[in-house]
Amino acid sequence: MKTLIIVRHAKSDWSHLHQKDFDRDLNERGMRDAPMMGKRLLNRHIQVDLLVSSTAKRAAKTAKLIANELRYASTEIQWEDSLYHAPPSMIQAAIFGVSNHINTLMIVCHNPGITDFVNLLTNNLIENMPTCGMCALQFPIEKWEDLPIAKAQLLFYDFPKNNV
């Protein structure tokens, strides 16, 4: 079995209007939500074998804050430039590049690609993945390359404003 946890970056800061999109950091809510969602994963007894994140500042910060809560070393995060505003095909390509020894994989990236990707795997589960939202899916496969043909089982769908 393979478990895939897809995470949208936490809420970003728009206070610097001339800043490049790639360089936007998290705002106060994002800084609060990312650790909270990491704690929720910890409470679900989720152990991530590999965390792969977009290199955009807001995604990288989200990944580091969640990793910290999971006691996952931030030095072990795999950074992927291709996940910055990636369409579903690029997210899938990043997953296909993961070693089959990895059983639980977390991907941190951006909308709209993340919503589209989750909906491809779940028959339109969500209208829009909220910031710092996460969807965990389990697949009866041994190789990540078999993901597109595997039937996904939803483990959970969670987001900061969800009252769990």
**Residue 110 placed within a domain:** yes
* Of 85, 66, 79, the residue nearest 20 (C-alpha): 85
The model's pLDDT over 32-52, given as tens digits with 9 standing for 90+, comes to 999 999 999 999 999 999 999
E strands along the chain, which residues?
A: 2-8, 50-54, 78-80, 104-109, 134-139, 153-158
Q: What is the CA radius of gyration of the chain?
A: 15
Q: State which residues form the domain around 49.
A: 2-11+22-145+152-158
Domain assignment of residue 65, yes or no: yes
CATH at 104:
3.40.50.1240
Amino acid found at 121: L
Output the pTM of the full model: 0.95
Residue 164 falls within a domain, yes or no? no
The answer to whether residue 77 is domain-embedded is yes
Domain count, the chain: 1
In a domain, 163, yes or no: no
Position 16 in a domain: no
**pLDDT tens profile 50-80:** 999 999 999 999 999 999 999 999 999 999 9
Name the one residue in this structure whose structure tokens are 């809420």: 11
Are residues 117 and 88 in contact, defined by beta-carbon separation less than 8 angstroms? yes
Q: Kind of pairing, strands 2-8 and 134-139? A: antiparallel
Higher-confidence position of 17 and 21: 21
Rounded Cα gap, residues 117 and 90, in angstroms = 10
| Per-residue pLDDT reduced to its tens digit, 113-136 | 999 999 999 887 889 999 999 999
Is 17 inside a domain boundary? no
Instruction: Report the C-alpha gap between 74 and 124 in whole angstroms.
Output: 32
What HEC string does 37-76 produce? HHHHHHHCCCCCCEEEEECCHHHHHHHHHHHHHHCCCHHH
In a domain, 91, yes or no: yes
